[in-house]
Amino acid sequence: MTKIQGVEVRDLEFLSFSNINEDRIELLQEYDKEYIEDKNISFKNILYTYLAVIAVLLIFLPKIVVANKIYVKSISIHKMERELEFLKVQKRTIEGALQEKKYKSAILK
Answer with the residue of higher pLDDT: 45 or 36.
45
Three-state secondary structure readout of the chain: CEEECCEEECCCCCCCHHHHHHHHHHHHHHHHHHHHHHHCCCHHHHHHHHHHHHHHHHHHHHHHHHHHHHHHHHHHHHHHHHHHHHHHHHHHHHHHHHHHHHHHHHHHC
- Of 7-11, 28-32, 33-37, give the lowest mean pLDDT range: 7-11
What is the pLDDT at residue 53? 96
Whether residue 3 contacts residue 9, with contact meaning beta carbons closer than 8 Å, is answered with yes
Mean pLDDT of 32-37: 69
- Is the pTM value of this prediction over 0.95? no
Residue 30: band (very low, low, confident or very high) from pLDDT cuts 50, 70, 90: confident
pLDDT of residue 2 exceeding 80: no
Per residue in 45-100, pLDDT tens? 999 999 999 999 999 999 999 999 999 999 999 999 999 999 999 999 999 999 99
Residue 88 CA to residue 38 CA, distance in Å, equals 72
